[in-house]
């Protein structure tokens, strides 16, 4: 709890800057994570391609980072280094709230050339920074998870926590959203996505909110196993002679 408190207090102290940094007009456009194609992993990938959708806000979009340094791009590399033939589409949009994410979800899903096997969801941080009602955040996130469940797409839910200055009542309503929804919709939960960097200023950009490229690597290291385990297990084809 101490680490979380230290980090969140820092995030709160720069609230105006963070809101400005997350404005939709300022960050670079979302990227397709193709870095693994440019730098083949030393370990050959195995099996069929595994399409993954990274859907969320600036923490996925790669705000303030160079091409190939975003969380989805580095996660793709890490998965491929483990022999997983991952292809991650980065559908992160800086400034997105849960409402904005829900609004564009259908279009995003229909735009995928292949149905994703897994969706990585990072939304809610901007809701919290704007002190939006937690019940609104819950309602929007639940609609997103329900939609993905209906499509048969597994989910990794990247959790966020409320800043202390928003008060105990707000935290009591906001913080349980992620574990409760993850349990209800059988999603894999990362309780606090920024935990690996939040109390380490050298791993954060000048806004003290977004991770640096090295910070992204730390987050990837902490979460890659969760993502790999969340991928649906592939089963071999049934024996053709069985039942004949």
User: Which listed residue (67, 207, 208, 226) is catalytic?
Assistant: 207
Q: What is the DSSP letter of 211?
A: B
Q: Give the per-residue pLDDT at 9.
A: 38
User: Which listed residue (35, 57, 122, 210) is catalytic?
Assistant: 210
In this structure, is residue 137 part of a structural domain? yes
- The Cα 214–Cα 202 span in angstroms is 9
In the chain, DSSP assigns E strands to: 46-56, 84-92, 118-122, 154-158, 188-190
Query: Across the strands, what pairs with 54?
Result: 90, 120
In this structure, is residue 243 part of a structural domain? no
Q: How far is CA 219 from CA 75, 117, 243, in A?
A: 9, 22, 48
The candidate with the shortest Cα–Cα distance to 157, out of 111, 125, 200, is 125
Work out the percent of the chain whose per-residue pLDDT is above 90. 73
Q: What is the pLDDT of residues 218-241, one digit of tens each?
A: 999 999 999 999 999 876 554 444
At 90 the three-state DSSP class reads strand
Q: Give the per-residue pLDDT at 199.
A: 87
Q: Give the per-residue pLDDT at 170.
A: 98
In this structure, is residue 236 part of a structural domain? no
Q: Give the per-residue pLDDT at 50.
A: 97
In this structure, is residue 29 part of a structural domain? yes
In this structure, is residue 178 part of a structural domain? yes
- The Cα 70–Cα 236 span in angstroms is 34
Instruction: Count Cβ atoms within 10 A of the Cβ of residue 234 and give its class: 0-12 exposed, 13-18 middle, 19 or more buried.
Output: exposed
Whether the per-residue pLDDT at 23 is higher than 80: the answer is: no
User: Which listed residue (33, 35, 57, 58) is catalytic?
Assistant: 58
Which helix (H) or strand (E) segment holds residue 179: the answer is helix 177-184
Q: Quick one: average pLDDT of 6-24?
A: 42
In this structure, is residue 155 part of a structural domain? yes
Number of domains in the chain: 1
- The tokens describing 134, both together, are 């937690």
- The tokens describing 17, both together, are 């800057």
Number of Cβ within 10 Å of residue 218's Cβ equals 16
In this prediction the pTM is 0.80
CATH of the domain at 46: 3.40.50.1110
Structural domain range at position 164: 2-230
In this structure, is residue 144 part of a structural domain? yes
- The tokens describing 184, both together, are 């209800």
Q: Quick one: average pLDDT of 203-212?
A: 94
Is 210 a residue of the active site?
A: yes
In this structure, is residue 239 part of a structural domain? no
Q: Are 24 and 58 in contact (CB under 8 A)?
A: no
Is 58 a residue of the active site?
A: yes
Residue bearing the bigger pLDDT, 46 or 23: 46
Whether the per-residue pLDDT at 174 is higher than 70: the answer is: yes
Q: Are 157 and 123 in contact (CB under 8 A)?
A: no
Q: Are 52 and 120 in contact (CB under 8 A)?
A: yes
């Amino acid at each position: 709890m101490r680490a979380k408190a230290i980090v969140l207090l820092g995030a709160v102290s720069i609230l105006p800057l963070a809101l400005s940094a997350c404005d939709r007009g300022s960050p670079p456009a979302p990227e397709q994570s193709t870095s693994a194609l440019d730098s083949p992993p030393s370990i050959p990938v195995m099996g069929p391609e595994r399409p993954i959708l990274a859907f969320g806000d600036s923490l996925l979009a790669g705000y303030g980072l160079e091409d190939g340094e975003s969380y989805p791009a580095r996660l793709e590399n890490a998965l491929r280094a483990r022999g997983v033939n991952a292809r991650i589409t980065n559908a992160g949009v800086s400034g997105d709230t849960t409402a904005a994410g829900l609004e564009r979800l259908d279009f995003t899903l229909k735009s995928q050339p292949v149905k994703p096997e897994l969706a990585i969801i990072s939304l809610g941080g901007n809701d919290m920074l704007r002190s939006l009602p937690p019940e609104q955040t819950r309602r929007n996130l639940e609609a997103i998870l329900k939609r993905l469940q209906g499509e048969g797409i597994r989910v990794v839910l990247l959790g966020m926590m409320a800043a202390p200055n928003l008060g105990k009542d707000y935290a009591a309503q906001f913080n349980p959203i992620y574990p409760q929804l993850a349990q209800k919709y059988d999603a894999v939960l990362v309780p606090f996505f920024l935990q690996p960097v939040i109390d380490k200023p050298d791993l954060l950009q000048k806004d003290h909110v977004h991770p640096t490229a090295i910070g992204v690597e730390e987050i990837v290291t902490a979460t890659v196993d969760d993502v790999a385990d969340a991928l649906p297990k592939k089963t071999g084809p049934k024996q053709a002679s069985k039942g004949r």
